[in-house]
Amino acid sequence: MGNKQTIFTDEQLDAYQDCTFFTRKEILRLHGRYHEMAPNVVPMDYTKDPDVKLPMQLIINMPELKENPFRERIVESFSEDGEGNLSFNDFVDMFSVLSEMAPRELKAIYAFKIYDFNTDNFICKADLENTLNKLTREELTAEESVLVCEKVIEEADMDGDGKLGFSDFENMISKAPDFLR
Amino acid sequence: MSYHYNEAFENPDYHNSETLESGRRKASQMNSMFRQNPYDSSPYDSYTDHDGREQRQSYSVDIPMATMQPGLEVSQSAKRWGTPNANPYGNTHINHSFEYEPEFTYTPPSTLSTVDGPFARRSSDASEEEKIIRNLASMTTRERIKAIQKMPKTMKEKREIRNKVLMEKTRKSVSYSTEIHCCTQCMYKIALSYRRFRNGLSELFQSLQLWQKTLKIIGGKFGTSVLSYFVFLTWLLTFNIFSFLVNFSFVTIPQFIAAGSNNLSFTGLELLTGAGYFQQTVLYYGFYTNSTITKIENSTSYDMQLAYIFTIGIYFVICFFSLVYSMAKSFRNNFVNPQTYSGNAGKLLCIWDFNITNEKAVRLKQKNLSTQIKEALSEGKSEDLNLSLKQRMVHIAIHLAAWIFSLGTTAVCCTCVYYLSINNLKLFMKGDGTELENQAATLVLPIVVSLLNLLTPFVFSLLELLEKFQYPRNQIYVTITRNVILKMSIIGILCYYWLNIVATSATECWETLVGQDIYRLVVVDFLFCLLGSFFGEFIRRIIGTKCLKNLGVPEFDIARNVLGLIYVQTLTWIGIFFSPLLPAIQIIFFFIIFYVKKVSLMMNCQPPRKVWRASQMTTLFIFLLFFPSFTGVLSVVAITIWRLNPSEKCGPFRGLSSIFDAVSRWIDVLTNYPRSAWVVWIYHNLIESVHFFFILTVIIIIITYLYWQIIEGRKIMVRLLHEQIINEGKDKMFLLEKLRALQASTRDTPARKGASQQFSTTSSLYQPPGQLDQQRHLSMPNYLERPLEKNKSSFSAKPPYTADFPETSGFLPGDPQRQQPSTKPGVSEALALAMRARQQAEREMEDEDEEDFRS
């Protein structure tokens, strides 16, 4: 216990526990990982909530994210400034949502953000093409990807505005139980 | 422009807004709010300068209609896309060359985006937040934590909310009882420490969970589909651990106390055959005593008969409920909406398995995905070519032939097993030859059964090549069905042999014989499983990588492996009655299988190429485990208990005409004790009574029927709502048409022209005035256009421009009619507005004409 006290106060740990899907130990481990990435910048003592942010470049090199084709988008979606600089709070938040304990509704909200590349609140054709490129490593020809994206919008767009709003997205994933398991 | 966090949107509804209905409700709420005080809290203003992360999200939940003209949208998005943006993702990015704050202040209040400073907004923020906090404070601690965890907000906001809720709570409790302040403090501390204790406990449980890390690694390397096999394996393992604990503590331990000595010799072959030495151990039914066990004189005794029957009975009841529970849960999660996207939409946005972290796996997955998409595209092209009648007939004939062949194979297998088993029994009864020969002979049957189980699926998979299914999903289902039929009919024929032939034969202790048979089957199946992963995966990989390069690395066949597990589990369940410690053996085997499969997977296999709908398959497997497997076991056990004569000379039930007699005798004894009259009553009126079961069945049928009707109703409801959504979409389009028409008709008024020029000078840097013009109209009904505000320019320029339309303001603020909260959806309301506005405009134009005429 003695070791824990130096990183977080009990109140902080309680708060983290209440706000995420993690246990005390896991939060401490997360802090360890966060600290590990930049030992010079991140202090060991977090009792005073220091304002430290790590750049995206460090975060996306974590083994958990390194191979994910959406890594940049994931980090950006969770960063408070939208540029991918994560404070420890954002960092914990990200893993909390990505953890298997998080409910689907929550994951859906963030997944929508991740797929919404241009942050216009809709998954439009450009977003879909981006997604497709990430998923297939740009192996499809331009025609093919346009065709696929058109089909996707046709299938999932219910209100006929030519792009997918969050309700379209939600409706779609409600029919795909494998989504983000 | 200050960046304080968005509190206005801490709407408690928000995270629940899964259904369209709630989204709609919210939309209408917002509309009504907008209408109620159009001047002092224009939503446009009030949402402008928050951090956009959450709101943006919530907007899209509520009213997904930012820009509705497809053509325009394309140009817009293309524009946005094309513009090199230093900061394309951020929520807080504002083009500083166009700060909109000053423009707000100069905007006349009679426009669409009426503004009156941040104060109104702040107050609404505060009230919203207070509402949430009050809501949260009224919840129990557990619920509150769950609600906070689910909020799609940043940690900072969540913590703020949490602290406020806690403050509120303490304040409340203090105001309730200022005098016992100390006491509440004390209680609070106790509650806190209790919670910490509970969290610690859950941490402990988590660390006890088996193979958590291994499962993560497998998931990371092979994806969810392969993971589902291992999860299923651990799930079965926990089942077996539970049943072992129950059997061991209530049946075996008492038996140890009463056990005599075992004088049979142990050679080692027994481990394989389960006969010989093991015959006289607690492993088998025959060894258990029928007496009551009393260690201390005159104390309560332990009735072995009752213990045996109740332990196994209760175990099966618990199994039944846990299976039904997990099945229902799985169904609810995965089959709620049977209408699935077979097409591309699901594929594109839902397919990525975020579990995968391994580089090779990612590459492979990406490759598979692109081929799949290409295939889907080519299929889409060829789908139009309808098959001719002749071709269809050929298809059907092939399917029929395949089915006849597979069923025929199954029948042949069953006959083979049947005659072999009868032969086996004869051999056993004769008992000539040496002991060793006899024991070896008993192994013939299990080896043949396992061989059939191993080889016939390969034959079936050859059939797959002949039948060309249109959808791979159908192929998976058909193959699974065939394999299940095969495995279950083999087990069925064995059960028939055990219950009808072995049980009536003149053996000394038929239950032990059956127990041994099952033991051998389980052991041999385990060995074949090991051999299967050695030959099927290891040797196959060697061949695939060294000799025949085009074969490649084998895929991990999830369906075959899972069906194997289901088969073994069925055997174990049947065996529990005849050999109560069979679960222990099964635990060991499952442990070994887990590690062997893991190593074999890591070394030899690659993830399956086909789309594997993991969650639906898991549901299917749990269902299979329940339906032919567990219900079959239940009926076998029921027949054994109610119908068959237990052996005369062995086992706890020796000397009874049927096993259930033990219970009825116990009840007879109990009738003498007035204190346990209720047990007797329950027995006579509930368990033995036909009426009770009749009534129960009727009630259950009625309930089922009611639920069925509810489901039907819901289906209709869903369809209607779906249609409504589509209609709303059309409404929107129509409304936009109207608005455009209105705009066209009002454009040529001279005053406006001047203004638009003025406007275009301010905004020409970014967009041509025409486009902006349209945008203004688009954004008018949905003031929620978050991204555009965020994407600066166009919006920042908006207020002065909108000010130039005095007549448009007529249909927005200050109209008494619209101040009444409306229950109608916002869209049709807005449509009415558009119509009226247009009429007004036309009237004005007429007036002007008249004036001209007069002058």
Q: Does the beta-carbon distance from A89 to B155 stay under 8 Å?
A: yes
Name the DSSP class of B555: B
In chain A, residues 102-131 whose CB comes closer than 8 Å to chain B: 102-103, 105-106, 109-113, 115, 117-126, 128, 131
B142 touches chain A (CB under 8 A): no
Residues A39 and A111 in one domain: no
Token reading at B827: 């869209």
Token reading at B634: 């239940």
| Distance from the B165 Cα atom to the nearest Cα atom in chain A, whole angstroms | 12
pLDDT score at A178? 57
Token reading at B632: 């079959």
Residues A14 and A83 in one domain: yes
Residues A69 and A21 in one domain: yes
Domain-terminating residue out of A68, A98, A128: A98
pLDDT score at B72? 37
Residue B3, pLDDT > 50, answer: no
pLDDT score at B380? 59
A27 touches chain B (CB under 8 A): no
Residue B793, pLDDT > 70, answer: no
pLDDT score at B796? 38
Domain-located, residue A162: yes
Residue B771, pLDDT > 50, answer: no
Compute the distance between CA of residue B91 and CA of residue B791 in angstroms, rounded to an integer.
Answer: 9
Q: Does the beta-carbon distance from A172 to B345 stay under 8 Å?
A: yes
Q: Give B16's pLDDT tier (boundaries 50, 70, 90).
A: very low
pLDDT score at B82? 37
Domain-located, residue A147: yes
Q: Does the beta-carbon distance from A135 to B351 stay under 8 Å?
A: yes
Domain-terminating residue out of A52, A67, A98: A98
Residues A28 and A76 in one domain: yes
Closest CA to B7 of B142, B132, B94: B132
| First-to-last C-alpha distance (Å) of chain A | 34
Encode pLDDT of A19-55 as tens digits.
888 888 888 888 888 888 888 888 888 877 778 888 8
Encode pLDDT of B586-637 as tens digits.
999 999 999 999 998 888 887 776 666 667 778 888 899 998 899 999 999 9
Residues A119 and A52 in one domain: no
Closest CA to B7 of B150, B153, B114, B144: B153
pLDDT score at B702? 97
Q: Residue A137 sits in which domain range? A: 104-175
pLDDT score at B666? 87
Token reading at B261: 């000595």
* Half-sphere exposure of residue B603: CA atoms within 13 angstroms, side-chain side: 15
pLDDT score at B829? 56
Domain-located, residue A2: no
Residues A109 and A93 in one domain: no
Domain-located, residue A4: no
| Distance from the B171 Cα atom to the nearest Cα atom in chain A, whole angstroms | 18
More confident residue, B94 or B370: B370
**B87: nearest CB among A10, A83, A175:** A83
Residue of A nearest to B225 (CA): A178
Q: What percent of chain B has pLDDT over 70?
A: 62
Domain-located, residue A63: yes
Question: What is the total count of domains within chain A?
Answer: 2
Residues A48 and A108 in one domain: no
Residues A86 and A108 in one domain: no
Which residues are CB-contacts of B201 (< 8 A; sequence separation ≥ 6)? none
Domain-located, residue A114: yes
Domain-terminating residue out of A51, A83, A98: A98
pLDDT score at B413? 93
pLDDT score at B335? 63
Q: Does the beta-carbon distance from A175 to B196 stay under 8 Å?
A: no
**Amino acid sitting at position B545:** T
ipTM: 0.72
Which segment of B105-119, B254-268, B443-457 scores lowest on mean pLDDT? Answer: B105-119
Residues A66 and A94 in one domain: yes
More confident residue, B152 or A57: A57
Domain-located, residue A165: yes
Length, in residues, of chain A: 181
User: In Å, what is the CA distance from A123 to each residue of A114, A117, B344, B648, B741?
Assistant: 10, 8, 15, 75, 29
Mapping DSSP onto H, E and C, the string for chain A reads CHHHHHHCCHHHHHHHHHHCCCCHHHHHHHHHHHHHHCCCCCCCCCCCCCCCEECHHHHCCCCCCCCCCCHHHHHHHHCCCCCCCEEHHHHHHHHHHHCCCCCHHHHHHHHHHHHCCCCCCCECHHHHHHHHHHHHCCCCCHHHHHHHHHHHHHHHCCCCCCCECHHHHHHHHHCCCCCCC
Compute the distance between CA of residue B457 and CA of residue B463 in angstroms, rounded to an integer.
Answer: 10
Residues A91 and A120 in one domain: no
| Distance from the A37 Cα atom to the nearest Cα atom in chain B, whole angstroms | 18
Q: Give B2's pLDDT tier (boundaries 50, 70, 90).
A: very low
Structure-derived torsion over alpha carbons of residues B499, B501, B504, B510, reported in degrees to the nearest 10: -70
B657 three-state secondary structure:
coil
pLDDT score at B35? 39
Task: Tell me the sheet residues that pair with A123.
Answer: A164
Compute the distance between CA of residue B144 and CA of residue B148 in angstroms, rounded to an integer.
Answer: 6
pLDDT score at B842? 59
CATH assignment at residue A127? 1.10.238.10
B5 touches chain A (CB under 8 A): no
Instruction: Please compute the mean of the pLDDT values over residues B816-831 and round it to a whole number.
Output: 47
Q: Does the beta-carbon distance from A82 to B93 stay under 8 Å?
A: yes
Residues A60 and A14 in one domain: yes
Q: Does the beta-carbon distance from A109 to B152 stay under 8 Å?
A: yes
Q: Does the beta-carbon distance from A24 to B150 stay under 8 Å?
A: no
Compute the distance between CA of residue B220 and CA of residue A98 in angstroms, rounded to an integer.
Answer: 13
**Amino acid sitting at position B98:** F
Which segment of A150-159, B198-207, B764-773 scores lowest on mean pLDDT? Answer: B764-773
Residue of B nearest to A91 (CA): B155
pLDDT score at A116? 85
CA angle (B843, B847, B848) in 5-degree steps: 120
Token reading at A135: 């998923």
CA angle (B535, B539, B544) in 5-degree steps: 135
Domain-located, residue A1: no
pLDDT score at A143? 80
| Distance from the B244 Cα atom to the nearest Cα atom in chain A, whole angstroms | 30
Residues A113 and A63 in one domain: no
Q: What percent of chain A has pLDDT over 90?
A: 0
Which residues are CB-contacts of B713 (< 8 A; sequence separation ≥ 6)? none
Residue B851, pLDDT > 60, answer: no
Which segment of A21-25, B207-211, B232-236, B531-535 scores lowest on mean pLDDT? Answer: B207-211
Encode pLDDT of B239-292 as tens digits.
899 999 999 998 888 888 776 666 667 777 777 777 777 777 888 888 887 777
User: In Å, what is the CA distance from B74 to each residue of A51, B82, B676?
Assistant: 40, 12, 80
Rounded mean pLDDT of chain B?
71
Closest CA to B147 of B128, B133, B130, B164: B133
| Distance from the A161 Cα atom to the nearest Cα atom in chain B, whole angstroms | 5
